Amino acid sequence: MEIITIDVSQLAPPEPMTKILHALSQLTAEQCLEVKHSRQPYPLYEQLHQGSWCHYCQVVKQAQNQEQVFIYIYRVTLQSQVEQFIATRYSGHNL
């Protein structure tokens, strides 16, 4: 599994949605998209479901009560690999 990372945390709407959907159109079956976002994009989740994408959202607490949102978007065939990656990546984090 290959992780493709994009950062949309500084973009104003609707740019994050546009950039994420474009990145998804470029993914291969063995790639997972990691999105760094400033908030949970609930409208995106609806589109992912309609497009048969799986997703996992991890909110990481930062200094000064700020949060960083990481969204992992992938096809169901990568489910176990993504779960293992996430378990390893976030072990020991204050979530």
Q: Identify any residues that bridge with 32 across adjacent strands, giving them in sequence order.
A: 3
pLDDT at 67 over 90: no
The whole-number pLDDT of residue 63 equals 78
Alpha helix stretches (DSSP H) within 1-95: 15-26, 42-50, 79-89
The whole-number pLDDT of residue 21 equals 97
Strand ranges in 38-79 using DSSP code E only, listed in sequence order: 54-61, 67-74
Q: Is 69 exposed, middle or buried (0-12, 13-18, 19+ CB in 10 A)?
A: middle
The whole-number pLDDT of residue 41 equals 94
The Cα–Cα gap between 63 and 66 comes to 6
Domains in the chain: boundaries: 2-89
Q: What rounded mean pLDDT belongs to the chain?
A: 93
pLDDT at 93 over 80: no
Three-class DSSP category at 63: helix
Over pLDDT 90: what percentage of the chain? Answer: 84
pTM of the model: 0.90
pLDDT at 11 over 50: yes
The class (CATH top level) of 2-89 is: alpha beta
